[in-house]
Structure 1
Amino acid sequence: MGETVTFRSVFAIGEFRAVWLAELLSIAGDQLARVALSVLVYQRTSSATLTGLTFALTYLPTMLGGVLLAGLGDRYPRREVMVAADLFRAVLVGLMAIPAVPFWALCVLLTLVVIANGPFKAAQLALLPDMLDGDRFVVGLAIRNITSQSAQLAGFAGGGLLVAILNPYLALALNAATFVASGLLVRFGVRQRPAPSGQHGGPASNSRSPSSLARGAALVWQDPRLRAIAAISWLAVFYIAPEALAAPYAAELEQGAFAVGLIMAADPVGSIIGAFLFSRFVPEHRRLQVIGLLGALAGVPLLLCALHPGLIGSMLLFALSGALATAYTMQCSATAVRLLPDNARAQGIGLLSTVLLTVQGLGALVVGALADVLTAAGAVAVAGAAGTALAIPIAVSWSRARRTRPLHPGAGLV
């Protein structure tokens, strides 16, 4: 019997602590910036469409960066790629913090920031298995999931308060500082390793090929279980609505910037609770059985926004939706790690996470436009109804795939 891997044993690895803390700072800063940008754009334009567009730009260009620049993590030392991406983003966000920057330039800078996130995440995901062997990698993913939600909560809630007391530009300046801190932590906390290209004959050495994306997509498409897992994860296209419409939603409730942060923080609060309860009290075999059902149920609280429940009621509904969505998302990620072959794990997970962020951006853009036609509450309700309706056939596909090709013992452990 092997040693039981715990959170404590993973945190005992110094390199993981450095990468974990760097990511924690960056996520908190990013969420802070999302609050600031939502408030700033809505103040300037009074348009839910443009607010949704700006929020979408914090997700959509990830696909471009993930597809075109992810190979940098295979051609150059991964630590250096991460540090360079952090410093590049620090400069860009620093420019965004200048009040005189026009709206179009703000969008361009934001797009470049998110594109740079692609090679950073690809290098990070490829580097983690070098730090965390065996089950430590899976436990490390679970730690990142839970703590990232905590960082989102701190960034959203703190961002709303900071923007209310001071102004959005200071929040952007603080976001730039978190990128600098992240780069320093990675540079001095992670051991130098040579560039992996050419070391083996596996996928890493072929990452320069334009067909690497096709190979990664084939890994997912050829396994019906991975296809279903991907589809369940991508229901986030609907469940991003409360965060994307936080500013116009708060305006409809006649609330200010602090309420924007509270609305955005509701989902992470629910996510932390959901991750804890799901991993602590739901047996492993049950987790695999219910992820499709949870994908459908996550839309129901959003549908209830059609009843106009007010600020507190809305926050409770958003938290419940976040709890359900995080439970199935966490299980999907852990199961995908188990199903992907070792020599293509980072490539497959990188593709899944890149598309996930992209569909979230698309969802933010669509619900923003829908809110201008209906209302913010109406758009959230429509998104919830659509997510639940689409999740039902996906859940059936997952159940069928799991019965046809049963997962091996230990698959999908969180």
Structure 2
Amino acid sequence: MPEQAARFRDVFSVGEFRVLWIAQTQSRIGDQFARVALALLVFDRTSSAALTALVYASTYLPPLLTAPLLAGLADRYSRRTVMVAVELIRAVLIGLMAVPAVPLPLLAVLVVAVSCPDPLFSAARIATLPQVLPGAKYQVGMSIASSTDGIAQIAGFALGGVIVAATGSPHLVLAIDAASFLVSAALLRWGLGPHRPETDGNAAPRREFAFAGIRLVARDRNLMGLAALVWMFGLFVVPEAMAAPYAAEIGAGEAAVGMLMAADVVGMVIGGLLVARLGTDLRRRLTVPLAFAAGLPLVATLLSPGLPVTVGLWALSGLASSYLVLAQVRFVQRVPDGMRARAVGFAAAGLQTAQGLGMATAGALGEAVAPSAAIAACGAAGSVGALVVALAFGLVGRDGTHTPERSQDRAEPSRI
């Protein structure tokens, strides 16, 4: 029998989902507040673009190392407890950063420290969502969460800059971010059940526990393929990093940079909502075609079209990048609950690495060729890479149809 599509109101009627959604949204907005405030604070103290960029990058880099080590805690303990603990830790660290007298070296240490537990919170939240939203509701919930995340990023960047400009105080914005973590912790503690991970009674030894998720993904051809397909997104996100030089190339001016940076995010928000209610079969059939299509509008950037056309092209790329939601849903549903946080943590760390490498690659190419050519090259590489991954890992059969997956999209528990 075909899977019955869930409605948005069916998902929002679940109280625990509303708690997770509200907590994540307001916390995400606070994160963007903090990034704006940190950039302005460091530049104000040092007048150094290099140091400002380094501190900003420090908010993204630590999870690449901590994800494999920390994410497994969400497979050992109550996921509610894990999320609340992480939010309280981050509230304290951000609160210290908000103190005006904190010296710059200590501020840099705090920036790294507050970023370290990010993958633990994300892994616990994503692993909890299938328990909160069983069946068809899960896909809709993931789409809502992904779309809202994009909106929160745009709103956070915009409002953070406005607040700093209006008050002249980056420290106030950091204090608001600290308060957002406290609100999130309170919502999760009193609005969410414990959600302890399911186990099969054969827990891995502690020395192997942290890396069990990596082995699970590496040994499952379909999981590895879905993870690699998600990592291709690192080549589709390069317009955000190249917006400023590209705007200069087409003579659009600095005022156009923000519009260009937001274009693909807006497309992803719309795309996430459009794929929300796709059935299981259509979800499988569209994942690879959308991944391939995400790079094609970027290839058209080679022609250096005017600003309106470029914004439209990048928004189309973002729209097709909604394949991320489809791939992530299939990935999470194939992983046993007791392994979910570790597997998700590994995939998320790979995605973050891919984004960093994609932006760095585009920047390096942009030094040798025109920014438009660099963006087009990355888009082409991403589309070709998506096809190679799909064929290499059996996500698409020779007849053009997706290879059947295991019953209920779930992997058998692996023996570690």
Shorter-chain TM-score category?
0.7 to 0.9
* Deviation by residue 1:255-314 (Cα, 9 ceiling, x = unmatched): 55x75543332222101222233446x775444234223223222333344444455444
Shift of 1:28: 2.1
The counterpart of 1:406, out of the listed 391, 404, 407, is 404
Match of 2:414 in 1: none
Instruction: Report whether the alignment pairs 1:301 with 2:302.
Output: no
Does residue 65 of the first structure (1) align with residue 61 of the second (2)? no
The aligned residue for residue 274 of structure 1 is 271
Distance 1:363 1:219 in 2: 26
Out of 225, 235, 248, the position equivalent to 2:222 is 225
TM-score normalised by length of structure 1: 0.80
Quick check: 127-136 or 218-227, which moved more? 127-136
Matched, 1:45 2:48: yes
Question: CA 1:220–1:362 in 2, change beyond 3 Å: closer, same or farther?
Answer: same
CA contact (8 A) 1:274 1:322 kept: yes
- Identity between Structure 1 and Structure 2 (%): 41
TM-score (normalised: structure 2): 0.79
Q: 1:292, 1:394 within 8 Å by CA — same for their partners in 2?
A: no
Instruction: Tell me how far 1:394 sits from its aligned partner.
Output: 2.0
Partners of 2:42 and 2:368 lie apart in 1 by 19
Contact 1:152 1:265 in 2 (8 A): no
Alignment match, 2:29: 28
Structure 2: which amino acid aligns with 1:236? F
Alpha carbons of structure 1 residues 114 and 138: separation in structure 2 relative to 1, 3 Å = same
Q: Which of 289, 297, 307 lines up with 2:285 in the alignment? A: 289
**Amino acid corresponding to residue 219 of structure 2 in structure 1:** Q
Aligned equivalent of 1:319, options 294, 315, 321: 315
5+ residue gaps, structure 1, are: none
Shift in Å at residue 320 of structure 1? 1.6
Matches within 5 A, 1:90-101: 90-97=91-98
Contact 1:62 1:358 in 2 (8 A): no
- Amino acid in structure 2 at the alignment position of 1:215: A
Contact 2:271 / 2:319 at 8 angstroms: preserved in 1?
yes
Cα separation, partners in 2 of 1:45 and 1:127, compared to 1, 3 Å: same
Question: What SS does the corresponding residue of 2:396 show, helix, strand or coil?
Answer: helix
Q: Do the aligned partners of residues 292 and 233 (structure 1) sit closer, same or farther apart at CA in structure 2, a change above 3 Å counting?
A: same
Q: Which of 324, 331, 334 does residue 336 from structure 1 map onto?
A: 331
294-303 or 393-402: which moved more? Answer: 393-402
What is the deviation of 1:359? 2.3
Amino acid aligned to 2:21: W
Contact 2:75-2:342 within 8 A present in 1 as well = no
Q: CA deviation at 1:346?
A: 3.8
Q: Distance in 1 between matches of 2:266 and 2:283?
A: 21
Contact 1:158/1:261, CA 8 A, preserved across alignment = no
- Matches of 2:97 and 2:245 in 1, distance apart? 22
Shift of 1:333: 1.1
Q: Is the 8 A contact 1:30 1:155 kept in 2?
A: yes
Check conservation: 1:32, 1:171, Cα contact below 8 A: yes
Unaligned runs of 5+ in 2: 411-416
Could you tell me how far 1:405 is from its partner in structure 2?
A: 4.5
SS of 1:400's partner is coil
Deviation at 1:87, TM superposition (A): 2.3
1:366 Cα shift?
4.2
8 Å Cα contact 2:232/2:386 also seen in 1: yes
Residues 317-349 of structure 1: per-residue CA shift (max 9 Å, x gap): 3222111112x1111012123333454344333
Q: Tell me how far apart the structure 2 counterparts of residues 403 and 306 of structure 1 sit (CA, whole Å).
A: 32
Residue 24 of structure 1 and its aligned partner are, at CA, apart by: 1.0
Per the alignment, residue 387 of structure 1 pairs with 382
Q: Pairwise CA RMSD of aligned residues?
A: 3.8
Sort the Cα spacing of 1:300 and 1:110 in 2 relative to 1 into closer, same or farther, 3 A.
Answer: farther
Indicate conservation of the 8 Å contact 1:6/1:139, yes or no. Answer: yes
Match of 2:121 in 1: 120
Does the CA contact (< 8 Å) of 2:147 and 2:270 recur in 1? Answer: no
CA distance in 2, matches of 1:375, 1:104: 37
Code of the aligned partner of 2:324:
T
Measured after TM superposition, the shift of residue 183 of structure 1 is 1.6
- In the alignment, what sits opposite 1:362? 357
The 5 A counterparts of 1:124-203 are 124-159=125-160, 161-162=162-163, 169=170, 170-192=172-194, 200-202=199-201
- 1:233 Cα deviation from its structure 2 partner: 0.6
